[in-house]
Chains A and B, each alone.
Chain A
Amino acid sequence: MSTGSVRVDPATATMISLIGSLADNKGALGRRYGEWAVSAPTIESAVAAAAMAQDELGHARSTYPVLAKLGVGEFGSGPSAAGHGIEPDSPKGIRPLQSPESGGVEPDSPGPEESGLDTGHPMFVISQELPDWASFIAANLVVDGVLTTFVAGTRDSSIEPLAQRARKILQEEGAHRVHAEAWARRIVAAGGDDLRLLVQRIEEMWAQAARWPGPDSDPGYQDAIAQGMVRDGPLAIRDRVRDWLTALMEGFGVSVSLPEPGDWSDWDPLHRR
């Protein structure tokens, strides 16, 4: 596969896609967290949202340069505007919670040079402002959970710059997980419509976030595991997040449906969705 300027093996191409998309999603997550820094239910959570936004934006900025180490153009610390160097370009911008494929609309947005980190190709569920606090907590649980589980599997990556960043990211993500779990507990205690909305948002987020690692049979991903670039395959990542989230919610007496993605016929390995 070509990255435009250099040719790479399937394992490296997969890691370029994963790392670029990881940074894109962390940039988007940072923006989404930051938007709630002035409107969270409590002043304490507003400050926590701002701190988490700073963390995520920092993770994005520190992750993009790893792409350069893999031979992808000049990335500096900006968004992977050109499809992580593997593809010239594709539509990007603000999306509804449902993806365009499921009936949503994907309107135009400014190009990456105009709008900083809020670009690239994040999951649709975090590519626009989160409509309610339940969405924030669901993103905190599910999207952050999937991305962090992937990062945990790169702590000892043979791609040393990635491993270095993973260790720093995981330190900070510990607080994000505590925040997500504690808020889930609080919303469960509140019950009623708050709880119903949280369960709905978790399941919506899962439908897209679970696809992010891709199909378990991806040969490039399997090669990347064999070469020590990443420890956990897509199925292992999903299982880990599902086990944690299911146990968490069942501990509160709440069940959530987190099915294994079944249809990969429209899988886009470049944008990971």
Chain B
Amino acid sequence: MSRADETVWEVFARKAYEEPLHHVGTVTESDEDLAVVSARAIYDEQAWIEMIIVPRPSIREAISA
């Protein structure tokens, strides 16, 4: 099964409401729902209270490296 059309999703999470979301890694999936399942399964080492995923193509650089 080809993975050529898959999207990289950036994963952000936080452990406490007073904390900002931190970048914790990425997952690669073509399907948004599968990306959510994968992110929760892969980055489960902490007791997160919130986790979000963002498709990398939606990110816009304000300052380029």
Contacts and interface: CB of A to CB of B under 8 A. Distances in A.
A224 B3 CA distance: 49
A132 B31 CA distance: 21
Contact of A47 (B1, B30, B35, B38): B38
B37 A182 contact: yes
Given A178-B33, A179-B37, A44 B42 contact: yes
A182 B33 contact: yes
Interface in A166-183: 175, 178-179, 181-183
B41 interface: yes
Contacts of A183: 34
B36 interface: yes
Given A44-B28, A44-B29, A185-B31, A51 B41 contact: yes
Interface residues of A, number: 19
A193 to B, nearest CB: 11
B1 A41 contact: yes
B40 A44 contact: no
Given A41-B1, A182-B31, A190-B1, A48 B36 contact: no
Contact of B3 (A42, A178, A181, A182): A42
Contacts of B27: 44
A44 B41 CA distance: 8
A80 B10 CA distance: 44
B44 interface: yes
Given A41-B1, A42-B3, A194-B1, A48 B37 contact: yes
Interface of B: 1, 3, 27-31, 33-38, 40-42, 44
Interface of A: 41-42, 44-45, 47-48, 50-52, 175, 178-179, 181-183, 185-186, 190, 194
